[in-house]
Chain A
Amino acid sequence: MIKLLLANLCRMKRSRIFITCLCVTFTLSAIFTYILIKISPTLAGWDKIILAMTAAPIFASAAFSMLFFGEDYSDKTIRNKLIIGRSRTEIYFANLFTAIIGGLILTFAWELPPAVVGIFVIKDFALSAESFALGILVCVCAIASACSIFTLASMLIVKRSSATAVVIALMAGAFAVTPTIKNKLAVPQTFEISECNADGTAVERVFEEPNPDAVTGFPRAALEAAYDLQPFGQIKQADDETRDRAVLPLCSLGVFTISTAAGAAIFRRKDLK
Chain B
Amino acid sequence: MTKLLRANFSRLWKTKSFWVCMILMIAFPVLNMFSEWDMNDHTIVDMRNDILQNGSEVMFFSAIFTALYLGADYKGGAIRNKMIMGISRAQIYFSNLITVSAVGLIYFAAQITVNFGLGYALGGRITEPFNPLLFDILIDLCAETAMCSIFTMIGMMISSKSKIVAATILTMVVTTYGSFGLIGMLDEPELRYKPEIDDYGNYHGTTEETEPNPRYLKPGLKRGFVTAVCNILPTAQELQIEEQHDISGKNFLPLCSLGVLAATTAAGVAVFRRKDLK
Contact = CB atoms under 8 A, between A and B. Distances in A.
A15 B172 CA distance: 24
Contact of A164 (B60, B162, B173, B174): B162
Given A161-B68, A161-B71, A165-B67, A39 B215 contact: yes
Interface stretch (B92-100, B163-171, B240-248): B163-171
A63 B185 contact: no
Nearest to B75: A161
Contacts, number: 59
A169 B169 contact: yes
Nearest to A62: B166
Given A39-B185, A63-B170, A172-B60, A160 B162 contact: yes
A16 to B, nearest CB: 10
Interface string A103-131: 00000000000000000000000000000
A157 to B, nearest CB: 11
A168 interface: yes
Contact of B68 (A38, A165, A172): A165
A41 B214 contact: yes
Nearest to A38: B222
A9 interface: no
A242 interface: no
B82 interface: no
A216 B111 CA distance: 32
B161 interface: yes
Interface string A40-63: 111000000000000000011001
B223 to A, nearest CB: 10
Interface in B49-84: 60, 64, 67-68, 71, 75
Contacts of A63: 166, 170
Given A164-B162, A165-B67, A168-B166, A28 B174 contact: yes
Interface residues of A, number: 25
Contacts of B173: 59, 168, 172, 175
Contacts of A35: 181
Contacts of A165: 64, 67-68, 165, 169
A124 B67 CA distance: 43
Residue among B169, B172, B174 with the most chain A CB within 10 A?
B169
Interface string A127-168: 000000000000000000000000000000000111111001
Interface string B145-182: 00000000000000001111110011011100000010
B162 A70 contact: yes
B118 interface: no
Nearest to A165: B165
A22 interface: no
Contact of B222 (A39, A60, A66, A67): A39
A165 B166 CA distance: 7
Given A39-B217, A59-B173, A161 B67 contact: yes
Given A39-B217, A161-B67, A161-B68, A168 B161 contact: no
B175 to A, nearest CB: 11
Residue among A17, A39, A67 with the most chain B CB within 10 A?
A39
Contacts of B217: 39
Contacts of A32: 181
A168 B181 CA distance: 21
A28 B166 CA distance: 16
Contacts of A161: 67-68, 71, 75, 161-162, 164-165
A208 to B, nearest CB: 22
Closest 8 pairs (CB-CB, A-B):
A161-B161, A63-B166, A160-B162, A161-B162, A42-B214, A164-B165, A168-B169, A165-B165
24 contacts: A17-B163, A39-B185, A39-B215, A40-B214, A42-B215, A60-B170, A63-B170, A66-B166, A67-B163, A67-B166, A160-B161, A160-B162, A161-B71, A161-B162, A164-B162, A164-B166, A165-B64, A165-B67, A165-B169, A168-B165, A168-B166, A169-B64, A172-B169, A175-B173
Interface of A: 17, 28, 32, 35, 38-42, 59-60, 63, 66-67, 70, 160-165, 168-169, 172, 175
